[in-house]
Amino acid sequence: MRGKHVLVGVTGGIAAYKAGYLVRDLVKSGAEVKVMMTEAGTRFVTPLTFSALSKNPVFTDLWTNNQSSDSDISTQHIDLANWADVLVIAPASANTIAKLAYGISDNLLAVVALATTRPIILAPTMDAEMYLNPVTQNNLTSLKERGYIVIPPVEGELASGLSGPGRLPEIKIIIETIGKILDQSHQDLKKKRILVTAGPTYEAIDPVRFVGNRSSGKMGFAIANAAAQRGAEVTLVAGPTHLETPRNVTRIDVESAQEMLTAVLAHTKKTDAIIMAAAVADYRPANPAKHKIKKHSSSKALELQLEATTDILAMLGKKKRSMTLVGFALETKDELAGAKEKLRKKNLDLIVLNSFGKQNRVFGSNLNTVAMIDKRGKVEQLPIMPKFDIANKILNKIKTLL
C-alpha cells in the first residue's frame, strides 16, 4: 500500500461511520488517502472526521474548491480522477450505484467515477430489500460487466432491525481487495495491444432470420475486461450480445463472420496478440433472400443452401509473424486430440479447450472449465472457476509467449 493513492468515496448510509476505520487503516498501511463525500454521506459523518483521519482536505462539492487556493475548480474532478491509483466507494448506496450505472454525474463523486480510468471498487451497503431489488441487482450486474469490482455485502442484522445481505464487510476484506487490485494494476500488459473477438455471429437467411449459435460472449468480454485492467490497449470485436462494454476497451460491433473478418483484418497491424474467443459460424446461407421469405402452405420443407465462411484464425495463422495467436475449441468428443489438431492446423501459439460436460454449461454461464494447450503440446487443465479468473490465467500464459 505504501505510496499508493487511494481515493475513498463515502455515500449516504449508516455504514458511513465504518469508512472512518477504512481510512484510518489505509493511512496506517502507508497509503495516501483522499476522501470524497456525497451530500448524503455528510449527513451521517462530518467531513472533519475524514479530514483528520486522512490528513487531507475532504472533497464534498463539485462547485467548491476543496483543494488549495491555487488549484483550479474547473479541473478539480479531473485532478482527482488522475490522482487516484484506485477509487473505493464504501459504503456505496443504491442511489450512487444507480447513478454510476447510468452515468448520471450530478455530484463530485459521480463525476470523478465517470472521469477516472483507474479501477473502481464498490462496497454496497443498504437494507436487504433494497440490495435484492432487481433494479439494484441489474445495476450491479451491468457495472460488474464493465469492470467495476463489487465486494458483496455480508448477511446479518441491519440498521432497520431486519436481517439479510446489506452490511459492510470487515475492513480487512476491503483492504485485501484494494491490495489485490493495486497488485493487478501493476499494469503488466501496459503498451501491449490485444485484439479479442467475442460472441456468436449471425448469418442472414433473409432480412429477419439468421443462422446463429448459443455463444453469450461472456468469455471474450471477460478477457477484454481483464486485459484492460492490466493496462493493455484492448480492441474488442463483438458479435451480437447484450453485454456491457468493459471500461477502457474499444468495442467494434459486428454481426456476420464476414464483418468480423473485415474488422479483425483492419486492426491486426501492430497487434501483439489476437484472441479469437468468438464462436464464428463455419457456414452461412449461400443466397440470403432480399425480402422476408414467405411461408408457402404447399411446401412442407424449406431447403437452405450453406456455403463456407472464411476461417479467420486460419487466415491469421498463415500470415502471422511475431504476433501471438490464441484460438478456442469446443469439442464434444476426443476433446484434447481435436484441440491439438486445430492448434497445429491453424498455426496457433495457444488453444483454449472449453469443456462440454453435462454439469458444466458453457453457454451463458459465469463459470467454465478449460484446458490450455501450447505449441509444444503442454496441457494445463484448470479447475472450474469464474470466466474472469480464467481470463487472467489465459493472459498470464499469453504474457509468457509475447
The vertex-130 CA angle with 143 and 101, nearest 5°, equals: 20
Residue among 243 and 313 whose Cβ is closer to ligand CTP: 313
List contacts with ligand CTP (CB under 6 A).
257, 276, 278, 280, 282, 309, 311-313, 327-330, 342
Alpha helices in 162-305 (DSSP H): 171-184, 218-229, 257-266
Q: Tell how strand 32-37 and strand 58-59 pair up.
A: parallel
Residue among 162 and 337 whose Cβ is closer to ligand CTP: 337
Residue among 166 and 217 whose Cβ is closer to ligand CTP: 217
Residue among 295 and 333 whose Cβ is closer to ligand CTP: 333
Choose, from 65, 133, 213, 347, the residue flagged as catalytic.
Answer: 213
Q: Are 4 and 85 in contact (CB under 8 A)?
A: yes
Three cell numbers written together for 142: 451491468
Residue among 276 and 370 whose Cβ is closer to ligand CTP: 276
Smallest gap, in angstroms, from Cβ of residue 331 to ligand CTP? Answer: 6
Three cell numbers written together for 44: 451521517
- To the query of whether residue 368 is one of the catalytic residues in this protein, the response is no
Taking residue 8's Cβ as centre, other Cβ atoms within 10 Å add up to 27
Smallest gap, in angstroms, from Cβ of residue 70 to ligand CTP? Answer: 54
Three cell numbers written together for 37: 463525500
Q: Are 41 and 12 in contact (CB under 8 A)?
A: yes
Q: How far apart are CA 401 and CA 70, in angstroms?
A: 48
Smallest gap, in angstroms, from Cβ of residue 225 to ligand CTP? Answer: 18
Q: Are 116 and 84 in contact (CB under 8 A)?
A: yes
Smallest gap, in angstroms, from Cβ of residue 346 to ligand CTP? Answer: 7
Q: Which residues of 369-383 are buried (b: 16+ CB within 10 A; e: fewer)?
A: bbbbbbeeeeeeebe
Smallest gap, in angstroms, from Cβ of residue 316 to ligand CTP? Answer: 8
Surface-to-core class of residue 301, CB atoms within 10 Å of its CB (0-12 exposed, 13-18 middle, 19+ buried): exposed
The set of catalytic residues is: 213
